[in-house]
Structure 1
Amino acid sequence: MKYALPTLMSCLLLAACGGSDSGTPTTTNAPATTPTPSEPPPTPDPDPELLACDQTPPNPLRNAYFGELHLHTVYSLDAVAAQLTPEGAYRFAMGEPVAAPPYDAAGNSLIPPYQIDRPLDFAAVTDHGEWLGERELCEDPSLDPLAYSSPECTVYRQDRELGFLLFGGGWAGFSQLVPFPNISFDEPFLLTDNEVHRPLFCGVTGEKCRGAARGPWLDVQLQAERFNQPGCFTAFNGYEYTMSPLSDNMHRNVIFSGDQVPQDPVSVYEAPDPSALWEQLDEACTGECEYLTIPHNSNLSNGRMFAGPEEDGYDIAEKRRAEPLIEIFQVKGDSECARVENGSPDDPLCDFEKLPATNFFEFFLGINPIPPAPAFQNYVRHGLKEGLLIEEAKGANPFQYGFIASTDSHFGLPGAVDEDNFVGHRDVPPVDGVKDDYFNNPGGLAVVWAEENTRASLFDAMQRKETYGTSGPRMQLRVFGGSTEQMPDNMCERGGQAFVETGYAAGVPMGGELHAGQGTPRFAVWATADTFPRENERSVNVPLQRVQIVKGWVEKDANGQSLAREQVFDIATGNSDWSLDDDTCQVSGSGPQQLCAVWDDPQFQADQNAFYYARVVEAPTCRWLTRQCMNAPADLDCSNNPQEEWAACCEIENGNAPSRIQERAWASPIWYKQ
């Protein structure tokens, strides 16, 4: 849902002036009280109902575990249609049916019970660290009547979407550089850069909102401990750090290794930039407490996500330690690459799940008063190349990321990635009609190669970047890099177990490094299709179409200037007679169920730093919007005021939305360093 800027600004003025529609004094006149800190959550007894999942034995050659590291429940202020708590989210992740939106006035779901086709192996609930307390105070008058009757809370209860924009774009700020009305009589009205600030009802230092946030934060921890079952299902403690200067997305998901976590989630109120976040997490994360942060939606960062250390003020070594991964895909689009000038103009697969926005102003309001950065700067592939240039100048690469994907569901539905059964992700969906904006999608999954399904094993794998992301399907993908001298060229003929054993013995897995002196790089890639039958009423699975290597490197031009380059290589394809009927979404034919290749870089130069990552692509199927629009009314007229709940179908007709999708997976890069 998009609102005009004047509507939002009128709400901001209401908050800025401290007005109250109830005539109640603002809380700055009330005595400040500090809530008593809550005790850490006790470790719950095992729930017999949760012991039915199958335990996977440890595997020294590592298993692929599929999961979710970006998820919002009812505790997130912007989860305007959610009713599921962390408990419900974890039950859904483990395969149980739940009541999903839309709901009636009594809170009953208006659609059949909703569940995923296969349980996940791991998940983390990552509700926003910001606004946890604000939401509690707005919902429960017994906590603080003054806060409950504030103009911000009143607007939020009347219209949760508009209320979120008020909090997200007003007091809570799109972090420290929030566009905010300057109401000084000494200066003309304008949008100014302002510091982080909470609503007035939070108290002079924000103590009331921090205190109110501890209840939800403790419940997040309690449910993670309750549902965490080593060897069977892993539940991580986590939250989202929501920094959006001038509405440019700089969000991070914070994932903890175990049950030792800070008393309060460090938010933009305490840490106005990522460097401050890492510093304060280090101070608050004591004992057996480790964390990592995962940036997401660089496609909405307006070029900021990949700023250099001088511009962004971070220490490269600190960033590398705290931030090993980046989210390359989720419901709000693909962040891999853009088929634009100075980006990836020669890569047609970069035309994939793109948003018609470059920051949150444009995403939510349909306008962008902030000058847009060049589109190519928003994407991970640009960040990887920029990291090579910074490494050449500074001796270290701040963007040596591994990859994951997730959903960012704001319904509390981890792993709900099925194109054929998409219920939307944030706004209230119709009972009958298109469930989301045409440019969104069901999101993806994070995949981790680990010895066993435990917090320690999965977290170690994330730190070493032996991870990949998929746009939804559960393809398996192994990548090893070595040299032509050490890695044999017949690895694909050796079979699965021998392939993996040789890869680890003769090279490094995805996320690893190769170094000068080891010879010409050689890469071995093995991909298998998702065996679950998704098509033709769940009777046919989707084959693979191709495997590619994406290379980026730095070279000198004629003037000695360093330039970052890229090239995409097809390294494996297979025979296929696969076909798709766009009118019925029925498929026929078959194709490769696995593809394997050993590839040597034909353009390798030992004095050029480089990265290499594998991309695996499925055969085409119908996109979620195409499937839902098959149920549109026969009299839908896109040229004459189409029914609102079906209007998104017209975006296919007018060319703004594709009818097909080629699902894919992206492996964490392997880095060559001279």
Structure 2
Amino acid sequence: MTKRFVSLLLSTTLLASPLPAQVTTDAGTIDPAGIERFFNQPGYSPYAGRSFPSRPLWGEQHLHTSWSPDAFGGGTRVGPDDALKYAKGAEITSNTGQQVRLSRPYDWIVVADHSDALGVVASIYEGDPAFMSDPTLKRWHDEMRKGGEAATAVVMEMITLQGEGRIPPAMTDTTTQMDMWREMTRIVESHNQPGIFSAIIGYEWTSNYGGGNNLHRNVIYRDGKDKADMVRPLTTFDTELPRELWNWMAAYEEETGGRLLAIPHNGNLSNGLMFATETPDGEPIDAEWAMNRARWEPLYEVTQGKGTSEQHPSLAPADEFADFEIWDAGNLNVVPKEPGMLDYEYAREALKRGLALESEFGTNPFKFGLVGSTDAHTGISSTEENNFFGKFPASEPGPERSTGNAFDFDGRTVKDWKLGASGLTAVWAKENTRAAIWDAMKRKEVYGTTGTRPFVRFFGGWDFTAEDAQRRDPATVGYGKGVPMGGDLPPAPEGAAPSFLVAALKDPISGNLDRIQIVKGWLDAGGGMRERIYDVVWSGDRQPDAEGKLPPVGNTVDVGNATWTNTIGAPELIAVWQDPEFDPAQKAFYYARVIEIPTPRWTAYDAAYFKDANFSEDVPMTVTERAYTSPIWYVQND
């Protein structure tokens, strides 16, 4: 297949609307004459009457504030009100007294504070008599008041006890929880501006099953305060089993008429439980389990501050881009992994395994789209390398984070420099409202990035042609001839192979684009899980070598000054690619991965700014940012 690079103008026509029904034939194929008629009817403007998304809406679904127990215990004082102001573009004061502001406001955000003891730790810190009779809580009060390492130790203890189900009972009072929840939804509601900014209601259900095995989910509401306040949020004091969370979600919808979805965290800290083929309590999964997971969890967090979990390099040694911000030392408590656990923690393995489980159960439980977020516990969502404010207040900017620990459990540590400035979610929604954003999430028309904001389109169909990549309106032909990211290919015409239209525009203040890849996963004739990565379009005049490997794009980073130049790479890439090895009898999925040129990592900015920073030689100083689209699936014809 001929690779094409088209030097497109930076124009919103890349994001144009899809074709109306009159340009298709009765058989559903494109009528070229109909396309020409479309551009002359009803008038001159090709945008009049469009009814599909024209730009991605940027935000994140996973931010913690001082209302999360571990965040407050770690020194966070930025609450949900300031966090929402910041997301809308306001300058605020960080937990360490530094001024901070986004380079560009978000379009939406979910403040996803832990439902466990929501807002309660502040009362313990203040010495509320209702809590001081408990000796553990009194000790936490004293230690948090000391600050520094003493307060950090309280946070670590909270996480451990929560994972063991031994949180002091005074923290689990349901009346207190509902009072705090109603106040949280009031704050969120006060910032919601339909059409301008969407403050989306949500919370994090924080299962650490078995002691630090991260099975966390963010619960995202389509609804406003009126419905969200009707049912108490689920906590891990109620249950730590995902299937019981799904039952709670079903009961919420039945009682309120509202809508919910859940987004599992990156699975790299689950010690093999996130995508296991048995439930955490050891029960084998079955058809009902598969159906419920597919229903309630349409998305997966592929990247965040505690690492990226697209794929592990040991599981895909041929993938030169798999070794990206990998956290694989252990679970949330840094309990070391055992052999085989990695197979059940990474997105690509789960997407492949989902094809096999669909053959067994009739439903693919791992048919998810891909999103990114920060999981910051500072109230500050920061994903740009030169504006990174860390995980907890102790890892906000300062020379000490060059040697500090992000996590420390009985001497099992993870260094601050391992934190990544990741990530963001782009949603292709028709309008900036809670309902439209939620609907786009549900249909998986979303993509995740490691923190930058490239515009990415990805469509699959059966009759895209090379000429489609030369149009100024790829979205128009993309919707007209195919399905967008997150969709299913329609039944295959006899003898056809799927083709894909993929396009990307660089983030205007980040690095140029190196290449676009399409990642394919499939089941072979024997049911084996397979994968392959195709470079489909790239910058410059590089050519693949005899083994099909594309030479590196190069590196312009000046680490000492934390600068780079966009003298390599391309501002835009677009191509049509057809699967050269398609077998209509084999189930498959495809997603696009957009790779930027190397740019300075936040550690390089720290080293340049803080002259007394003391990073060790093994600390990475450059980063290769990227975007991951939701997949498009092919299920073979019956």
**TM norm structure 1:** 0.77
- Deviation of 1:311 (Å): 3.1
Query: What secondary structure, in the 3-state scheme, does the structure 2 residue paired with 1:139 have?
Result: helix
Aligned to 1:324: 298
Q: Give unmatched runs, 5+ long, in structure 2.
A: 1-47, 144-149, 407-415, 541-552
Match of 1:293 in 2: 262
1:582 and 1:622 in contact (8 A); partners too:
yes
Task: State how 1:603-614 maps to structure 2 within 5 Å.
Answer: 603-614=581-592
Instruction: State how far apart, in whole Å, the 1-side matches of 2:263 and 2:396 are.
Output: 32
Residue in structure 2 matching 1:307, options 272, 276, 300? 276
Measured against aligned partners, the alpha-carbon deviations of 1:269-291 in whole angstroms (never above 9, x if no partner) come to: 22331111111122234334111
Q: In the alignment, residue 329 of structure 2 is paired with which amino acid?
A: A
How far apart in 2 are the matches of 1:610 and 1:591? 31
Q: Distance in 1 between matches of 2:396 and 2:356?
A: 48
Report which stretch shifted further, 511-520 or 329-338.
511-520
CA distance in 2, matches of 1:550, 1:441: 23
What secondary structure, in the 3-state scheme, does the structure 2 residue paired with 1:88 have?
helix
Give the match's secondary structure for 1:315. Answer: helix
Cα distance in 1 between the residues matched to 2:167 and 2:514: 51
Partner of 2:153: 162
Q: Which residue of 2 aligns with 1:453?
A: 432
Instruction: Write the mapping of 1:167-316 to structure 2, written as runs, cut at 5 A.
Output: 167-170=158-161, 172=162, 174=163, 178=164, 196=165, 198-202=167-171, 206=172, 209-246=173-210, 247-259=212-224, 260-261=227-228, 262-285=230-253, 286-308=255-277, 311-312=284-285, 315-316=289-290
Q: Find the counterpart in structure 2 of residue 662 from structure 1.
A: 624
Query: Counterpart of 1:344 in 2: which secondary structure?
Result: coil
Cα offset, 1:456, TM superposition: 1.1
In 2, are the aligned partners of 1:271 and 1:280 still within 8 Å (CA)?
Answer: no
Instruction: Return the alpha-carbon distance in structure 1 between the equivalents of residues 141 and 352 of structure 2.
Output: 42
Cα deviations across residues 349-369 of structure 1 (Å, max 9, x unaligned)? 01101124230121xxxx53x
In structure 1, distance between residues paired with 2:342 and 2:92: 39
Change (3 A) 1:224 1:133: closer
Secondary structure, in 3 states, of the residue corresponding to 2:502?
strand
Q: 1:136·1:213 contact (CA, 8 Å) conserved in 2?
A: no
Q: Which amino acid is the alignment partner of residue 529 of structure 2? A: A
1:524 aligned to which of 501, 521, 529:
501
Structure-2 separation of matches of 1:670 and 1:143: 55
Q: Tell me if 1:620 matches 2:598.
A: yes
2:553 aligned with 1:553, yes or no? no
* Aligned-partner residue type, residue 580 of structure 2: P
Secondary structure, counterpart of 1:361 in structure 2? coil
Task: Work out whether residues 197 and 269 of structure 1, in 8 Å CA contact, stay in contact via their aligned partners in 2.
Answer: no
Quick one: distance in 1 between partners of 2:554 and 2:492? Answer: 44
Shift, 1:303, TM fit: 1.3
In the alignment, the residues of structure 1 paired with residue 536 and residue 569 of structure 2 have an alpha-carbon distance, to the nearest angstrom, of 16
- SS of structure 1 residue aligned to 2:350: helix
Contact 1:325 1:403 in 2 (8 A): yes
Q: How many Å apart are 1:301 and its aligned residue?
A: 1.1
Matched position secondary structure for 1:514: coil
Q: Indicate if the aligned counterparts of 1:126 and 1:239 stay in contact, CA closer than 8 A.
A: yes
8 Å Cα contact 1:231/1:452 also seen in 2: yes
What amino acid sits opposite 1:224 in the alignment? V
Question: Which of 474, 489, 498 is matched with 2:466 structurally?
Answer: 489
SS of residue matched to 1:350: coil
1:394 aligns with 2:361: yes
1:68 aligns with 2:46: no
Question: Which residue identity is paired with 1:423?
Answer: F
CA contact (8 A) 2:266 2:300 kept: no
Aligned counterpart, 1:132: 118
Name the CA shift for 1:427/1:97 in 2 (closer, same or farther; >3 Å).
Answer: closer
Name which of 59, 69, 86 aligns with 1:92.
Answer: 86
CA contact (8 A) 1:327 1:403 kept: yes
Contact 2:354/2:364 (<8 A) preserved? yes
- Cα distance in 1 for partners of 2:418, 2:428 equals 31
1:250·1:296 contact (CA, 8 Å) conserved in 2? Answer: yes
* Alignment-derived partner of residue 83 in structure 1: 77
CA shift for structure 1 position 225 = 0.9
Task: Give distance in 1, aligned partners of 2:448 and 2:396.
Answer: 30
Query: CA–CA distance in 2 between the matches of 1:620 and 1:69?
Result: 27
SS at the partner of 2:399? Answer: coil
Aligned to 1:443: 422
SS in 2 for 1:627: helix
In 2: Cα distance, 1:488 partner to 1:227 partner = 45
Q: 1:608 to 1:565 in 2, by over 3 A?
A: same
Give the letter for the 2:368 counterpart. Answer: Y
> Quick check: 2:518–2:591 contact (8 Å CA) kept in 1?
yes
Which amino acid in the other structure matches residue 584 of structure 1? Answer: N
- Matched residue of 1:524: which SS? strand
What pairs up with 1:109-124 in 2 under 5 angstroms? 109=97, 111=98, 113-124=99-110
Instruction: Kindly indicate whether the alpha-carbon contact (under 8 Å) linking 1:358 and 1:375 is maintained by their aligned counterparts in 2.
Output: no
Residue 282 of structure 1: SS of its match in structure 2?
helix
The answer (yes or no) to whether the contact 1:59–1:452 under 8 Å persists in 2 is no
Separation in 1 of the partners of 2:175 and 2:126? 14
Instruction: Return closer, same or farther for 1:409/1:119 CA change in 2, 3 Å cut-off.
Output: same
* Per-residue deviation, 1:164: 2.3
State the 1:531 CA deviation: 1.0
CA distance in 1, matches of 2:94, 2:120: 25
CA contact (8 A) 1:469 1:667 kept: yes
> In structure 2, the residue corresponding to 1:266 is in which secondary structure?
coil
Contact 1:335 1:378 in 2 (8 A): yes
Name 1:503's counterpart in structure 2.
478
Consecutive aligned runs of 4 or more in structure 1 exceeding 6 Å deviation: none
Partners of 1:257 and 1:527 in 2: how far apart? 29
Once the two structures are TM-superposed, the CA of residue 166 in structure 1 deviates from its matched residue by 2.3
- 2:196 & 2:341 partners in 1: Cα distance? 45
2:411 aligned residue: none
Taking a change above 3 Å as real, the CA distance of residues 586 and 430 of structure 1, as seen in their structure-2 partners, is: closer
Percent of pairs with identical residues: 34
1:472 is paired with a residue whose SS is coil
Contact 2:311 2:347 in 1 (8 A): yes
| Structure 1 range deviating more: 427-436 or 280-289 | 427-436
Q: TM-score, length-normalised on structure 2? A: 0.81
- Structure 1 residues 351 and 156: CA distance shift in structure 2, 3 A: farther
Q: What is the distance in 2 between the residues matched to 1:662 and 1:136?
A: 39
The one-letter code sitting in structure 1 at the alignment partner of 2:63 is L
Seen in structure 2, the aligned counterparts of structure 1 residues 154 and 220 have a Cα distance that, compared at 3 Å, is: same
Which residue identity is paired with 2:204? E
